[in-house]
Amino acid sequence: MWKNIFFLPNRKMYLTLLLLFSFLSTTAHAQESKLAEAPIMIDDKPITTKYIMREGHLLVPALFLKHTGAFVDWDEQYRSVVFRVRNTMFALPIGKKYSDDYVRGTWQRHSLPIETIDFNGEPFVPIVNVARKLGMDVRYDATLARTFITTNFEIKPNLIAHGNMTEKLVALTFDDGPESRYTPQILDILKAKGAPATFFVMGKQIRQFPEEMKRIVNEGHGIANHTWNHPDLRRVWSSKVREEIQSTQAEMAKVVGKKPDLFRPPFGAYTKSDIAIFNEMGMRNIMWSVDTLDWSGLSGDEIIAIVKRDISPGGIILQHNFQAETRLLDGTVEALPQIIDDLREKGYKFVTLQTLLTN
C-alpha cells in the first residue's frame, strides 16, 4: 500500500527517467561501436584504419594486413585468421593469446601477449605481433605519434591506366554489365558508329544475360573480368578475391569461349595483397585515364565535357552499362555518339583494350 502511494504522484517522472536512461545507454553503445581511426605507414605510404587499444597493444582489422602484401583468410572451422607471406603461415584463433604456426609440415603453438578479438563480427589482430611474425619491421615514432611498417619484400607492380601515348588510339570501356537496358542501347550506337569497345563484365550478370554477352563478343568488342559480384576487394578475404576472378573467368569461357587476361577491380579499389593475386593469376590490372563519372547521373553534356578535358593519346575512358533499377546512365547513352564523333574529328581511332595494349 505505501509503495503504491509513494509511486503514484511520481509515475510521470519515473517514466521520464526510464526513457532517459534507455536513451543514454543506447547512445553510449553507439559511441563504443564507432572506433577511432588513424593512418599507419606501410612502406612509407599512409593507410588509414580503425583500431582498438587493448592492454597497451594496437589491434586493427585483420583485413588491413592485406595492405602489407600478406594473404589474409578466415578458417571457419577453427575460427581463426590465417596469414601467409611466401613460406611463412600462421593462424590466430579468436579469443586466444597464441598463434598456431605452420613450420616444416607441422603446426606449432606460440604464445602472444594479447588475444585476437571479435568486434561486431570483425576480427581484430595485434598488428605489431602479426607484422613481425611475417618478417616485417615495425617501429613507433612518438614524435609523429605514428606506426611505421617496412614489409621487406617486393610485389611486382601491376597497373595500367593508359596505352601507348604516342599514338592517337583510344579505348572505350564499360563496367558492370551485361544487362538488358543500357547494354543493347550502347551496342546499337557502337554498331552504327563502327566503334569497338571493351566491356568489363561481372560473372553473375553473364549468367543472367548470356545473350547480351554473346552479342558483345559477336559484334567484335573486347571483354574483360570485373569479378562475379562486385565486392570491394579491400574488404574480402584473399581466397574470395581469387574465387571472384576464377568464377567469372569460368562463366565467360562457358558462355563465349573466352578467358581474357584483363581485370578491373570494382571501384578501382585493391590492396598490395590483391596485386599479388592478380600477378599469380596472370591478370593485367586495368584502370583508366578518363573517368566520366557517369554512374553519378551526369548529363550527356557533362560527360562530353569531361572527355574533352581529359582525353589524351592512349586514353582509356571509363563508363558504365549497368545501374540496377535506376536511370542514372541515361547520360552515358546520350553522350556516346558525340564522344565518338568528336574524338574522330580530332584524329583518334577507337580500338579494344586488347589492341590498345599491343601498340
Report the alpha-carbon distance of residue 255 to residue 315 in Å, rounded.
Answer: 29
In angstroms, rounded to a whole number, what is the distance separating the alpha carbons of residues 185 and 271?
35
- According to DSSP, the β-strands at 222-225 and 315-320 are unpaired
- SS3 of 320-344: the string is ECCCCCCCCCHHHHHHHHHHHHHHH
**Which residues are catalytically annotated?**
175, 320
The grid coordinates of residue 285 equal 590490372
Name the burial class of residue 207, with classes exposed (0-12), middle (13-18) and buried (19+) by CB atoms within 10 angstroms of its CB. middle
DSSP 54-122: ETTEEEEEGGGGGGGT-EEEEETTTTEEEEEETTEEEEEEBT-SEEEEEETTEEEEEE-SS-BEEETTE
Tell me the C-alpha distance between 52 and 187, whole Å.
50
How large is the angle between the packed helices 210-218 and 182-193, nearest 10 degrees?
A: 10
- In whole angstroms, give the CA distance from residue 78 to residue 102: 15
In the numeric block, the cell 556516346 is attached to 336
Nearest to 161 by CA among 278, 263, 289, 264: 289
